[in-house]
Amino acid sequence: MLIIGPPGSGKGTQAELISQRLGVVAVSTGDIFRANVKCGTPLGLEARKYIDAGDFVPDSVTNNMVQDRLSGSDVESGFLLDGYPRTTAQINHLDRILASKGQELDVVLELTADREELVARLLGRARASGRSDDTEDVIRHRLDLYHEQTEAVVSEYAERGILTSVDGLGTIDTVTDRLFQAISTRDAISYRHLPSYEAAAVYAAFSER
Ligand code: ADP
């Protein structure tokens, strides 16, 4: 699965919640970059200048990192990508990674929200997040990039018939409910691809609520 949405739409929060409930590993490119920045690895040093400016880390760097992460044994039976792909070149790379693993995307969850709401949310969390890219001009730049490059990614998955869009406005719980509803009504993540224990977990998690 993958979850996609503009900065501030709550995709990281929701990815964590879905991951916990379904027992599917969440892979967040933003988190991986930030961890590398924190540890001062060569990847972190390279990525830092882009992240601070609100720019995308170059596709070649990001694609290699994701390819490496998706070769891990913990993602063999599935995963939830958060923050990738964001460009058309990244879609193509992900297609190749998945093809080589004999996997395919079951569902793409899109979180939507109004631009000014997103700016307000991000500014509101800026102090708590301590993120270097949560200043107003960088936030606006990140939103512009989403519009310019990542909306085309959303359209591509819509054309492939695997996109499901969910309103990201409301409390965290409300949005989680909507996402599980979307997952379970989508012939839920094409159950035929899932090991039965995961399919059961989707039903169980959804019916608990
Ligand atoms: P947000 O969606 O709020 O901007 P993320 O944590 O997903 O937050 O990403 C933070 C930053 O990490 C991005 O602004 C970008 O610099 C970098 N990044 C994350 N994912 C990608 C990606 N797929 N391609 C290029 N850069 C990325």
Give all domains of the chain, ordered by start, each with its CATH number.
2-29+79-202 (3.40.50.300)
Site to probe by mutation for ligand 1, drawn from 112, 133, 136 as the one with most ligand atoms within 8 Å of Cβ, is 133
**pTM for the complete prediction?**
0.89
Site to probe by mutation for ligand 1, drawn from 9, 14, 28, 29 as the one with most ligand atoms within 8 Å of Cβ, is 29
* Euclidean distance between CA atoms 32 and 15, whole angstroms: 14
Q: Whose CA is nearest to atom 3 of ligand 1?
A: 7
* Euclidean distance between CA atoms 151 and 88, whole angstroms: 10
pLDDT at 97 over 90: yes
* Euclidean distance between CA atoms 146 and 90, whole angstroms: 14
The set of catalytic residues is 11, 86, 125, 131, 142
Neighbour tally for 57: CB within 10 Å = 20
Q: What is the pLDDT of residues 13-29, one digit of tens each?
A: 999 999 999 999 999 99
Q: Are 190 and 125 in contact, with CB atoms under 8 Å apart?
A: no
* Euclidean distance between CA atoms 135 and 132, whole angstroms: 7
